């Protein structure tokens, strides 16, 4: 299964790495697992990364540009080291999921549209909707992102 159109299932796992290790880690998993990654930069999120919709793995590294988002990822790397950053879980409706979480006392960062001017072209071409709800607290030691991800008509893995 590939990313998107998968309510109630794991969508992808994001691994955080130091910027100087990003290319090496991507190359290593590409070689070992036989999957391809596409590199991207997302300045609004303060990250550079690589995504493999084939394997449901994503790497993220801070841009170290002084932005709050980048600094937050640097702090997390300093505290926890490289490894799992977040687990993205597919949902049918991000707004309804956010409301459900809040009704159950879970703090979220709200819902936002993850397709914007910062989104890599290869993602905008493949997906029509990416609406995300980030939980503020970790569950079972992991940060969860609930994501409504819908593929464009006629793209791979429909």
**What global pTM score does this model have?**
0.83
Q: Is 48 inside any structural domain?
A: yes
Residue 102 lies in a domain: yes
4 domain-assigned: no
Residue 1, domain member (yes or no): no
Handedness of CA 17, 30, 130, 11 (dihedral sign): negative
**How many CA within 13 A on the CB side of residue 11?**
25
- In the sheet that holds 127-135, the strands lie side by side as 38-42, 47-52, 57-62, 10-16, 83-90, 143-151, 127-135, 108-113
Domain of 109?
Answer: 10-151
**Cβ 82 vs Cβ 19: under 8 Å:** no
CATH classification at residue 80: 3.10.180.10
pLDDT in tens, 32-79: 999 999 999 988 888 999 999 788 899 999 999 888 889 999 999 999
The string of pLDDT tens digits covering residues 123-150 is 778 777 788 898 988 888 888 999 998 8
DSSP label of 152: P
- Residue owning tokens 């130091």: 18
Residue 31 pLDDT exceeds 50: yes
The Cβ of residue 57 has, within 10 Å, a number of other Cβ atoms equal to: 18
């Amino acid at each position: 299964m590939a990313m998107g159109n998968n309510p109630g299932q794991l969508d992808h796992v994001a691994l955080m790495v130091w910027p100087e290790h990003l290319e090496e880690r991507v190359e290593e998993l590409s070689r070992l697992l036989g999957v391809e990654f596409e590199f991207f930069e997302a300045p609004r999120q303060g990250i550079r990364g690589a995504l493999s919709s084939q394997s449901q793995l994503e790497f993220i590294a801070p841009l170290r540009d002084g932005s709050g988002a980048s600094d937050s990822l640097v702090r997390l790397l300093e505290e926890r080291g490289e490894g799992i950053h977040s687990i993205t879980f597919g949902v049918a409706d991000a707004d309804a999921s956010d409301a459900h979480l809040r009704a159950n006392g879970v703090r979220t960062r709200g819902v936002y549209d993850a397709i914007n001017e910062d989104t890599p072209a290869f993602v905008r071409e493949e997906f029509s909707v990416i609406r995300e709800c980030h939980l503020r607290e970790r569950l079972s030691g992991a940060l969860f992102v609930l994501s409504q991800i819908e593929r464009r008509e006629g793209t791979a893995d429909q």
